[in-house]
């Protein structure tokens, strides 16, 4: 019997909130307003399919490590609620959904799909050899707004690149914060992260710096595209969220780095999407 709940758990379906709002924001900016609804539908299915495949692949790659960490016992593969075989089959289905959805978009999207998928494929293995693995994850998530822009404009443009850099640094550095609590475990397993290279304290400092750069990129995007006050309110909400998230975490206390902490980061993507939409609707 198909265990929908276990599959949703395996791909952390709720975490789609990190990618989709930025994809919609990118589509709004590319269209300078509301894009065609059919394109938004196919963009949504492509991102959900790609992201689900990537998460399922990541969980398979890390299964032997996840089984050793008590705080990850809730995961479907670790608990045995989802079999390895079922996870592998689901990856094929998710990829098929992605490809079919991209096929409905302009031809350039299908041509660029292998390049866009590359960060998703290699990310699960980067922690085996480089502390820059967090940046690879950020790049993978940034493919969502990058792809949405191409789906609307059928081109690669400077504002799109600026948005992708902002998103990549935003999510990549939260991965660094989340991973900093595993410094000792990762070292014992020969895995790499910013924490294993620079200690947890150093990783948090690096994350703060690049989160600042991320906010500057969002701000610069508004200037480049001549956006108005609503957009910059969104940037302010994003900045405030990042400041708060860093204030409640320290190298000596990761007790508040929970699923709630992780999901709260979604405020950034949702706020940026909503305020960008309001800006384009009310100020253009």
Structure tokens at 200: 């947890």
Its pTM stands at 0.94
Residue 15 DSSP one-character state:
G
Q: What is the mean pLDDT of each run of 10 residues along the chain (284 residues)?
A: 76 79 96 95 95 92 91 87 92 95 96 94 94 96 96 96 97 94 95 97 97 98 96 97 94 85 85 96 85
Structure tokens at 272: 């940026």
- Is the torsion defined by CA of 98, 99, 101, 107 positive or negative? positive
Q: Give the pLDDT score at 46.
A: 96
Residues in the chain: 284
Domains in the chain with CATH codes: 4-283 (1.10.357.140)
Residue where the block lists tokens 């949504």: 44
Residue 225 DSSP one-character state:
T
Q: Give the pLDDT score at 11.
A: 75
């Amino acid at each position: 019997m198909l265990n929908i709940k276990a599959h949703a758990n395996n791909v952390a379906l709720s975490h789609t909130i990190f990618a989709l709002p930025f994809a919609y924001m990118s589509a709004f900016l590319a269209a300078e307003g509301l894009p065609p609804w059919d394109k938004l539908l196919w963009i949504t299915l492509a991102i959900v399919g790609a992201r689900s495949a990537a998460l399922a692949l990541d969980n398979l790659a890390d299964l032997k490590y996840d089984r050793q960490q008590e705080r990850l016992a809730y995961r479907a593969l670790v608990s045995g609620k989802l079999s390895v075989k079922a996870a592998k089959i689901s990856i094929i289905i998710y990829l098929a959904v992605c490809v079919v959805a991209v096929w409905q978009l302009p031809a350039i999207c299908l041509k660029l799909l292998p390049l866009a998928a590359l960060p998703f494929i290699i990310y699960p293995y980067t922690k085996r050899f480089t502390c820059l693995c967090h940046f690879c994850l950020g790049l993978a998530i940034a493919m969502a707004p990058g792809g949405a822009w191409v789906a609307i404009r059928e081109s690669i443009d400077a504002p799109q690149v600026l948005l992708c850099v902002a998103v990549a640094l935003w999510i990549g550095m939260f991965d660094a914060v989340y991973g900093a609590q595993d410094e000792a475990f990762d070292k014992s397993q020969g895995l790499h992260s910013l924490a294993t290279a620079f200690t947890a304290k150093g990783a948090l400092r690096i994350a703060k710096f690049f989160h600042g750069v991320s906010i500057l990129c969002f701000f610069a995007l508004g200037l480049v595209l001549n956006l108005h006050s609503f957009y910059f309110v969104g940037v302010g909400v994003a900045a405030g969220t990042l400041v708060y998230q860093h204030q409640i975490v320290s190298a000596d206390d990761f007790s508040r780095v929970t699923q709630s902490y992780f999901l709260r980061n979604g405020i950034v993507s949702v706020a940026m999407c909503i305020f960008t939409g309001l800006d384009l609707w009310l100020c253009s």
